[in-house]
Amino acid sequence: MRYYSNRELAGKLGIKLARWKRWSREFLAPDPLGGLQSGYARQLSIDDAFTVYLGGHLVNELKFGIQAARQVLGDLYTWLGEVKLYETPIYRKTAGDSLYQQSLTYQIYITAHDGIRFTYTVRGILDEKVELLPSGCIRTVRYREQRLGGRELQADCVTAAGASLLNISSVHTCFLEKLANHAHDRSALERSSGRV
């Protein structure tokens, strides 16, 4: 399994190191080796890195406070494993619903209640068709909506005032592409300069 340092991840993801370290401290459990060895640089798995990246997205892009972002990450933890957005086998759970596995992309509508409780409506997009017309296009999307935590889905849950849209599949794809593109660019640069 590959591990990354905070410095390496901040560079690959284009985030200032001080900000990345702050997010890492806020969104991950304390490093068990941090207090035992002086000068030890924390190593993060890809799932730890995604947790920090997602927490940062909640704070930076969706304007959640740190405490609220922590709550959202905790609430989504099991679901992220079920839909295989976490890559480490111990985090991955088997989704009981085959429609989860058929979905192409996921969106989560997050509705805050009293600033500390949240409800989550997951939209799993199953397929999408676009028909081009001279005056524009018609987009047909087939999706399934479900409340996380087994709560009943209500007709107005997605359109409720104040719901924040988290395009979780897009965030995950962006995260992976930044890691892959940075590694690809660096290895191409090293080959062109004669270093391997």
What pLDDT does 87 receive?
80
Output b/e per residue, 67-92; b: 16+ Cβ within 10 A: ebbbbbbebbeebbbbbebbeeeebb
Q: What is the mean pLDDT of residues 36-43?
A: 69
Question: Alpha-carbon distance 50 to 54, whole Å?
Answer: 6
What pLDDT does 14 receive?
95
What pLDDT does 112 receive?
86
What pLDDT does 147 receive?
87
Question: Alpha-carbon distance 98 to 126, whole Å?
Answer: 11
pLDDT in tens, 45-61: 999 999 999 999 999 99
Please tell me the least confidently modeled range out of 13-27, 94-108, 109-123, 149-163.
149-163
pLDDT in tens, 107-159: 999 988 876 789 899 999 988 899 999 999 999 999 888 888 655 555 555 55
Confidence of residue 26 (pLDDT cuts 50, 70, 90): very high
Question: Alpha-carbon distance 194 to 188, whole Å?
Answer: 10
Residue 86 has pLDDT above 90, yes or no: no
Beta bridge partners of 146: 122
What pLDDT does 24 receive?
95
DSSP H or E stretch at residue 117: strand 117-133
Quick one: what percent of the chain has pLDDT higher than 90? Answer: 48
Give the residue among 51, 57, 40 at the shortest CA–CA distance from 5. Answer: 40
What pLDDT does 138 receive?
93
What pLDDT does 60 receive?
96
> Which pair of tokens denotes residue 191?
């080959």
What pLDDT does 185 receive?
45
Phi, psi at residue 45, to the nearest 5°?
A: -75, 170
What pLDDT does 157 receive?
53
Residue 18 has pLDDT above 80, yes or no: yes
CA angle 168, 170, 176 (to 5 degrees): 105
Give the residue among 91, 109, 87, 75 at the shortest CA–CA distance from 172. Answer: 87
**More confident position, 19 or 116:** 19
